């Protein structure tokens, strides 16, 4: 974006989270493409900001209206939405994520928290458990290898393992979700589950679930660093891949 100018000649630049001017899109993109929008009309009062032609608020207005109605009619959904917004406001740029998780838990009346963690982040899970306990929560924590299911038993070949020639236990997020449900957890916290395993956990979690740590073994569990450096160190990520 550096060096680009708007139609009025003013340089387009980032100021915190917001753009000073609309990014001009030369052609209408296909599908849902909110990241290409520089207007962010959705953050303003309805009909006060002109949205781009590809904005889903134009294309999917009926569906969005129906979804809005569900917030008004479904009491459980409305409560989660309201307490999420209150948590955001109360700790905005002040509370760390783990503080926000505890605040949100208090607001929804969750006194028993579940931790679904990677066996490789045992120490981090232990610390999180200690913090939750110190703040008055009951805690149930379960690691990803519970059940010790042989990867080959579900169809993986030996050469597809991390360490071929050795026994490897399958990550078992379905068991994590099931055991936490049996333990009566009211809010589940994910700590470093692998990509895909986290998806399975969310699919099977009976209680609402949130993420404390997103696993990235290369970047110290800070995956956004690859995005921040995609113009330099990780520019290869934007290069067109050839088979």
Convert the pLDDT of each residue in 96-139 to its tens digit.
999 999 999 999 999 999 999 999 999 999 999 999 999 999 99
Q: Are 146 and 178 in contact (CB under 8 A)?
A: no
Average pLDDT for residues 132-152, to the nearest whole number? 98
List the chain domain ranges.
14-67, 74-102, 110-227
Instruction: Provide the mean pLDDT of the chain.
Output: 90
Q: How confident is the model at residue 243 (pLDDT cuts 50, 70, 90)?
A: low
pLDDT tier for residue 20 given thresholds of 50, 70 and 90: very low
Instruction: Say whether pLDDT at 24 is over 60.
Output: no
Please give the average per-residue pLDDT across 148-161, as a whole number.
97
- Given this model, what pLDDT does residue 28 score? 72
Residue from 58, 105, 102, 99 nearest 80 by CA:
105
pTM (two decimals): 0.86
pLDDT at position 193:
98
Asked if residue 1 has pLDDT above 50, the reply is no
pLDDT band of residue 58 (cuts 50, 70, 90) is confident
- State the CATH class of domain 110-227: alpha beta
**Alpha-carbon span 205 to 142, nearest angstrom:** 13
Q: What is the pLDDT of residues 2-11, one digit of tens each?
A: 444 444 333 3
Q: At what angle do helices 197-204 and 173-182 cross, to 10 degrees?
A: 30
As to burial, measured by CB atoms within 10 angstroms (0-12 exposed, 13-18 middle, 19+ buried), residue 114 is buried
Gap between the Cα atoms of 211 and 198, Å rounded: 9
Q: What is the pLDDT of residues 186-240, one digit of tens each?
A: 999 999 999 999 999 999 999 999 999 999 999 999 999 999 999 999 999 999 8
Name the band, by pLDDT with cuts 50, 70 and 90, for residue 59.
confident
């Amino acid at each position: 974006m550096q060096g680009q100018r708007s139609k009025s000649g003013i340089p387009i630049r980032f100021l915190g989270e917001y753009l000073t001017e609309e990014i001009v899109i030369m052609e209408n993109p296909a599908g849902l493409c909110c990241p290409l929008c520089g207007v962010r009309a959705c953050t303003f009062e309805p009909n006060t900001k002109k949205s781009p032609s590809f904005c889903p608020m134009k294309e999917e207005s009926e569906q969005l209206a129906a979804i809005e109605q569900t917030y008004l009619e479904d009491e459980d959904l409305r409560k989660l939405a309201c307490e999420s917004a209150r948590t955001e406001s109360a700790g905005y740029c002040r509370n760390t994520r783990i503080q926000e998780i505890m605040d949100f838990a208090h607001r929804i009346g969750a006194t028993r928290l579940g931790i679904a963690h990677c066996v490789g982040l045992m120490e981090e899970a232990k610390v999180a458990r200690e913090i939750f306990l110190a703040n008055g929560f009951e805690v149930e924590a379960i690691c990803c290898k519970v059940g010790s299911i042989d990867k080959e038993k579900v169809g993986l070949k030996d050469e597809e393992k991390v360490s071929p020639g050795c026994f490897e236990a399958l990550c078992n997020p379905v068991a994590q979700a099931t055991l936490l449900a049996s333990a009566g957890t009211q809010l589940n916290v994910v700590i470093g589950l692998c990509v895909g395993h986290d998806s399975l956990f969310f699919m099977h979690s009976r209680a609402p679930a949130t993420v404390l740590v997103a696993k990235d073994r290369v970047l110290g569990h800070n995956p956004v660093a690859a995005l921040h450096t995609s113009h330099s160190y990780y520019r290869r990520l934007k290069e067109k891949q050839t088979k």
